[in-house]
Structure 1
């Protein structure tokens, strides 16, 4: 018996078409409750948790469920009925979804594809739009909550999401698929697998295109997915695979607005929403330019990946698996530079009665036309936008607006190797290395001059005071060339110009014991991360930051980290088992924690984050019923966080806008209980149930240092730029702390499947916001600090989804499958996220100023009103209303 898979396989994405037609073939026979995952995927470097053996809390979703239920939802949303998981669509743009696991956000969840960690090496994020095609090729997805079974020194604070794909050596078959959905969504896909030849060769190929719009206005997108895999297995000892895949895409985005704005846009405007209801489709980021959709914020990216994997079965007791891989990310996201008479792009003066941005008028003003309507004085320098400098430099001159893009490209190379040896019938030992090198490129470029002929960039210390005249632009679309340069012209950089370099190397080992009904393991990993920041606008030995003379290159700052984990499982009998695990992680901070406030100076308070986790679990298995109960507790200390978009009131003069705070020393404690079960009523009905309860809180207070958008310290009312954050016992936001779900799948006749699902979300709090817990700083939309109120609790909500599919057998291997899904069947209006903590029932003392000013502020605040008990000044995302998707798939 084995505790965790003993071998290591493809670490980079072996994205195969097999899962698409695998799901079609097994639609009527798949047991979604729990077959050993090794029957469904080929395991390798991916550390697969085995039922009644691996002592971790785990949930597995098979390919059939993904194909049957995902439709046009975001890929992480398939996990929404998993205990302690909360996923949302984020702003709702294509691929902008977010996930929280046991109260920990996306960057603190290790996401693995066939064992390869794919979290960004600078900030830990996983951008799901970069993996838009992964749902097409997934054979199974396993969520390991808590420590997880991975041996690598990865950032699994909340847990690990393992995505498994199939190799290129499956039988000959293919798939053609067409999908349609609301708001013009459409998808086409072709996949083919040659199968393995007599000489051991095999090839898989996939190509798909997805385009249309999402639920909200101004949300056009286009995405492609391509995959090629070549496998060669000359004998039983050696197995080779080469893979190459990519998913270039662009999509328009959406940001939060106040509830009041959504309500204003709902009273007979745009979609003619019934008076009193918010317009959930409203998007403040877009308008039309020359009759075409144009947005402030577009994301565009292409992340092609290639790998070469070698599995070597040395003997019956030993195996070595090695993979080398490379990733070449190219793309970024748009925003704006400059102002019009001191006003930024989102100023209400620049919008029409429908809340859309007046792009044509902005172009005209940039060219010297008096457009009126709140734009103010005519442009003093038509055709040339400026960034000017004084004691500090900024974009506040009012000499025009241009759209820019912040590029976030990278080259990433890695090598993973694992040696596994069976010491005896009971003991198994494995040891390996994990080496990675990452170079990130972060320049800025102009994407649209909006009628200007040029933009004068004076942020470069090497070209001050005259600056650099930028006349070239770069379209915000991904290149068809997977190896394209990060930018087209190094002389045309605007807004910023820095690089990040990360060097990672480490080792790991594990000892497993398994005898009869008892299994146990102990494992450890150690790693070193070297960080270097390169600012290409710095003059070596001349530029001063934070009182220090700095250089273009900081030199590497090396930080060691490690983890230790142990666990055991005991099968009491054929039906019952119990398990426990415990672990400690010393995790290196992210890149912006090493070099805070965007400078070349190392954080003087730099320290590793410390995570301690413990868990107990119980499982029951019978022929019809499977149930699990888990108890967990995780403590996370010395956490670093940056909060942007702050407005700092001054004793005299205008407030400082767009400031940010660097927060150190945050501690969180998360504990809770989870239950999930499946029950089969004969062969015609499968039932599923889930309930999770958590208590996620901050423990103790923290300190933050505040800077303006030019990285200068902002002096607060305390006389310093250091502020105390009153966080003790405040609820952690951005993740539902109570969730429940009930689901049923009906199979009345062969080939027909009908599914229905209900999901309930409660104790959901607004996102962490340092401005809600300190009286010295505030956001532009939030004046009252309301220190005693804590995090804002959002209304609970219920959602219902339904779907059906029918498979027509056409003889041989050929079949035709029709499917359809409706999400949010009853069109429930609900808040999925909030980014502010503006409470009701405030007092005059919650506001600043004289007693008379406080009284007036309170009266004005109360006059704004509430929506479902939530103050209308809060910035929120509303969840999508009723949406639908349908597909037809031919398998041959």
Structure 2
């Protein structure tokens, strides 16, 4: 198959028009039509239908989002659905993380009106880019497992489809003001014109959210805009244009050890640690000229526009197409340089653990700061090059820019053969170009920064311009204005994706079924703008490796096939089953290891096989679903970093070995479990919602890893070999609770008033460990790798309670006021939501390589049965939100 070049694909997208069925599809659940497009899957959005589409699904509607979300992150609204574990991550605005059936963000397909939005280089989803969706979403459909989407997408754990409001909603407007803890303030204005006699309609929204999150040093500011224009000239054609974005910046927080959280706790007596950790502590911030300043600020704007066309060709045929484009602009900050050879995080802080920015500025400018010691622990002299920063001396704050231009087209033709059979076929094309330069965002008192990594400008060039760590108001602004002011890095990533899909559907009386398949080619290219074509990169001098500026495209084929059947036993009972297989291409980060211009020698597609059984019950007062599932994930990509090399077997001492890595082969995970979800209307005044999920997610065999330097040359580790065995067989998969329970009670004592209480329980939560912990080659007569002996670290279980109320009262002319309030973590429970380390309690001397390491472990002690050496995220304490909405 011949590649489609960039100009061809851009032209197709520019000239195309398209259509997606919007929120009215989700709301029209009472339809009795037997048309197959309404029975199973419709348009490009693939909305699952109750008792018809054979997948496990939960749907959250707009009213529930408005009622319960408050100042939480958008994915958190799914926390009461089965097998879903959502945390706030570090707790920064939009830094939430979601796992479904034990699979993380990169393995969950996120879609907006059927359009995929997972990053095309690494599959990630950054929720801060989509914070404004909560204001314009009509429904969220969470399809667990392989789901019903026809596309070859990363839906290993599930598919989240956000259905936004359509332009042709009824005429209505609203103004909302929301308040919350730590200065949270949200305002928005929205209006729908309704459809005119000539078929035109418009919907728009503008909003702003600002304040701080729960932890210290967490200021943020975000805006949100949404515009939809609809035109339906006749019954055959329906056009919808949408444009939405949410530019934001926010300060971030990263993990600290439990010991650090305790050191920063309240109630210190005679230098002893507090009994409770300071959950608000953030080691990344301090005051600069009296204002909050963070080491790590994320800033981004990712507007997405789409033009949709639905063409009813005949009573039996229709064509649904969507052309879309996304323009991501922004990045995240970090630091370059050192102070007296020390990382900025090891420089002395204030008594309450804040960064001393004003003193750092003074040191950069030549002042002597007495307690800014060197690595030997002795007082160091003043900066040897005041006002001049380099990679090795002086401190500047930089940003790694991650911008992109992304164009795509989806088209789906559906034809009804007869009353029972229907088929559809379509095309999925995408072109993505990612820009990844670095810039300086603050010189911190320096006059300049000298960059020496660009091989085109040796020995260095001078950077003097600082960029603000805030998104531009212009969504189409260039990723970088001046190439001469790039610092830290400068590479691009290019992805070209095209695929085809097809589906056959059957529906008759009590049975509905489908079989579908897709195939796609993904082409990946990495472009290093600091490499001169045909010139050897300096760190590769030992091997003689020649590195080109452009790698050329690496094309990889992938495919999937799946099918399912639903049988309605009677008006109350139904059963379903589905099965599917994916051969999924690796991401760009796997194709070119260690962020270098060399091709991974061990590229292989990941293999996913999934099977599921389900049962549903429906009555006037009680609804329930039970699902059994098993998903096998083989040849999962994993890279090991932070390796220790063997200097005797690797005599070269050049910089290439500083980037040693290992590719892990043979990793297989199996995720199986059972889920229950139910709704019970007890009477006129009380409703109950409940969910239980029990998972068994684990690795099923050992794996091997082979070590390489940055040029893909085999390299020996400290064990004396370049091949290691990772003892993973039977180890539990970490980073998500494998047992979850939730119960929501909704009380409606009087008309317009709703009071709701939510209880959630999490257990069998394991740490998100480093696979290096399971390296058997580390074992010897006196030392056994801790994780190999103990398995994955299990964290303490915890309960959470939320309470809220909403009251709506109507006034004349169809206008109304709605007042709402929520309290989250009502009882202020202290709990660990995530751990990024795997240090077990009650270890012996044989688990450590030295007496010093063992003594440090013993002295650290434990907290709630967990070693204080573990680096963790604590969940938020008690928080609150309130809002008032005027609808007219």
Aligned-pair Cα RMSD in Å: 2.9
Provide the rounded CA distance (Å) in 2 between the counterparts of 1:273 and 1:132: 41
**Residue 247 (structure 1) aligns with:** 246
Tell me if the contact between 1:267 and 1:273 (Cα under 8 Å) persists in the aligned partners: no
| 1:177-326 equivalence runs, <5 A | 177-268=176-267, 275-326=274-325
| 1:647-666 equivalence runs, <5 A | 661-666=662-667
Provide the rounded CA distance (Å) in 2 between the counterparts of 1:82 and 1:321: 31
Q: Evaluate the alpha carbon distance shift between residue 222 and residue 777 of structure 1 in structure 2; reply closer, same or farther with a 3 A threshold.
A: farther
For the residue of structure 2 that corresponds to 1:107, the secondary structure is helix
For the residue of structure 1 that corresponds to 2:773, the secondary structure is helix
238-247 vs 82-91, greater mean Cα deviation: 238-247
**Residue 599 (structure 1) aligns with:** 596
Q: Evaluate the alpha carbon distance shift between residue 412 and residue 54 of structure 1 in structure 2; reply closer, same or farther with a 3 A threshold.
A: same
Which residue of 856, 879, 890 corresponds with 2:886?
Answer: 890
**Residue 458 (structure 1) aligns with:** 452
Provide the rounded CA distance (Å) in 1 between the counterparts of 2:210 and 2:268: 27
561-570 vs 162-171, greater mean Cα deviation: 162-171
Q: Note the C-alpha offset of 1:710.
A: 10
Provide the rounded CA distance (Å) in 2 between the counterparts of 1:695 and 1:885: 36
Provide the rounded CA distance (Å) in 1 between the counterparts of 2:186 and 2:709: 45
**Residue 348 (structure 2) aligns with:** 350
**Residue 129 (structure 1) aligns with:** 128
Tell me if the contact between 2:302 and 2:329 (Cα under 8 Å) persists in the aligned partners: yes
Tell me if the contact between 1:498 and 1:536 (Cα under 8 Å) persists in the aligned partners: yes
Q: Evaluate the alpha carbon distance shift between residue 113 and residue 618 of structure 1 in structure 2; reply closer, same or farther with a 3 A threshold.
A: same
Tell me if the contact between 2:707 and 2:722 (Cα under 8 Å) persists in the aligned partners: yes
**Residue 563 (structure 2) aligns with:** 566
Provide the rounded CA distance (Å) in 1 between the counterparts of 2:561 and 2:544: 40
For the residue of structure 1 that corresponds to 2:188, the secondary structure is strand
723-732 vs 275-284, greater mean Cα deviation: 723-732
1:873 and 2:877 are equivalent in the alignment:
no
Q: Evaluate the alpha carbon distance shift between residue 734 and residue 12 of structure 1 in structure 2; reply closer, same or farther with a 3 A threshold.
A: farther
* Deviation sequence 1:407-433 (CA, Å, 0-9, x none): 000000001111000001000111000
| 1:250-649 equivalence runs, <5 A | 250-268=249-267, 275-347=274-346, 349-375=347-373, 376-387=380-391, 397=392, 399-464=393-458, 466-544=459-537, 548-644=545-641
For the residue of structure 1 that corresponds to 2:485, the secondary structure is coil
For the residue of structure 2 that corresponds to 1:352, the secondary structure is coil
Q: Note the C-alpha offset of 1:859.
A: 3.2
Q: Note the C-alpha offset of 1:11.
A: 6.8
Q: Note the C-alpha offset of 1:10.
A: 6.7
Count, aligned residues: 849
Q: Note the C-alpha offset of 1:707.
A: 6.5
Q: Note the C-alpha offset of 1:647.
A: 6.7
352-361 vs 254-263, greater mean Cα deviation: 352-361
* Deviation sequence 1:97-135 (CA, Å, 0-9, x none): 000000000100001111011100000011100001000
For the residue of structure 1 that corresponds to 2:589, the secondary structure is helix
Tell me if the contact between 1:716 and 1:776 (Cα under 8 Å) persists in the aligned partners: no
* Deviation sequence 1:472-504 (CA, Å, 0-9, x none): 111110001110000121111111110000000
Unaligned regions of 5+ residues in structure 2, if any? 1-15, 374-379
Provide the rounded CA distance (Å) in 2 between the counterparts of 1:99 and 1:126: 10
**Residue 828 (structure 1) aligns with:** 829
* Deviation sequence 1:664-691 (CA, Å, 0-9, x none): 4321111010111110012211101111
Q: Note the C-alpha offset of 1:64.
A: 0.6
- When normalised by structure 1's length, the TM-score is 0.91
For the residue of structure 2 that corresponds to 1:365, the secondary structure is helix
- When normalised by structure 2's length, the TM-score is 0.91
Q: Evaluate the alpha carbon distance shift between residue 710 and residue 213 of structure 1 in structure 2; reply closer, same or farther with a 3 A threshold.
A: farther
Q: Evaluate the alpha carbon distance shift between residue 654 and residue 784 of structure 1 in structure 2; reply closer, same or farther with a 3 A threshold.
A: farther
Provide the rounded CA distance (Å) in 1 between the counterparts of 2:544 and 2:131: 45
**Residue 393 (structure 1) aligns with:** none
Tell me if the contact between 1:432 and 1:508 (Cα under 8 Å) persists in the aligned partners: yes
Tell me if the contact between 2:692 and 2:741 (Cα under 8 Å) persists in the aligned partners: yes
Provide the rounded CA distance (Å) in 2 between the counterparts of 1:767 and 1:118: 25
Q: Note the C-alpha offset of 1:268.
A: 3.7
* Deviation sequence 1:498-535 (CA, Å, 0-9, x none): 00000000111100000000111100001000000000
315-324 vs 825-834, greater mean Cα deviation: 315-324
Q: Note the C-alpha offset of 1:463.
A: 2.1
* Deviation sequence 1:55-101 (CA, Å, 0-9, x none): 11111111111100000000000001111000000000000000000
**Residue 13 (structure 2) aligns with:** none
260-269 vs 176-185, greater mean Cα deviation: 260-269
Tell me if the contact between 1:10 and 1:114 (Cα under 8 Å) persists in the aligned partners: no
Q: Evaluate the alpha carbon distance shift between residue 704 and residue 458 of structure 1 in structure 2; reply closer, same or farther with a 3 A threshold.
A: farther
Tell me if the contact between 1:814 and 1:891 (Cα under 8 Å) persists in the aligned partners: yes
Q: Note the C-alpha offset of 1:161.
A: 0.8
**Residue 394 (structure 1) aligns with:** none
Unaligned regions of 5+ residues in structure 1, if any? 1-7, 388-396
Provide the rounded CA distance (Å) in 1 between the counterparts of 2:848 and 2:435: 43
**Residue 803 (structure 2) aligns with:** 802
Provide the rounded CA distance (Å) in 2 between the counterparts of 1:431 and 1:654: 54
**Residue 863 (structure 1) aligns with:** 859
Provide the rounded CA distance (Å) in 1 between the counterparts of 2:179 and 2:431: 41
Q: Note the C-alpha offset of 1:189.
A: 0.3
Q: Note the C-alpha offset of 1:783.
A: 11
Q: Note the C-alpha offset of 1:765.
A: 0.4
Tell me if the contact between 2:724 and 2:776 (Cα under 8 Å) persists in the aligned partners: no
Q: Evaluate the alpha carbon distance shift between residue 42 and residue 425 of structure 1 in structure 2; reply closer, same or farther with a 3 A threshold.
A: closer
Q: Note the C-alpha offset of 1:645.
A: 5.5
